[in-house]
Amino acid sequence: MKIEILGAGCSRCEKLFRKVNKVIKENNIEAEVIKIDDIKETMRYGIMMTPGLVINKKLKTSVNVPSEKEILKFIKEEI
């Protein structure tokens, strides 16, 4: 599973990155989590505001930082 955090390093982007890593660790989920800070890559998903959460090339949410429960739900949808 590939999880991408879209954003240029704002505090919300960093918070989402930490939350995603916590969720996958606590639930023993094997996933590659990467940060994408290239604006062109971010725009490919059609978002104008970050952070964005992409799992297996599918945009799950943007702008807000979802709860850990929501993050886990998004991940389970892609397993």
Tell me, which fold does domain 2-65 have in CATH?
A: Glutaredoxin (3.40.30)
Residue reference for tokens 């952070």: 51
Question: What pLDDT does residue 48 have?
Answer: 83
Known catalytic residues are: 10, 13
Mean pLDDT check: name the lowest of 14-18, 20-24, 40-44, 57-61.
40-44
Question: What pLDDT does residue 9 have?
Answer: 80
All structural domains of the chain with their residue ranges: 2-65
State the pLDDT confidence band at 8, using cuts at 50, 70 and 90.
confident
Burial class of 72 by CB neighbour count within 10 A (0 to 12, 13 to 18, 19+)? middle
Overall pTM > 0.85: yes
Per-residue pLDDT tens digits for 31-73? 999 999 998 889 899 998 899 999 999 999 999 999 999 999 9
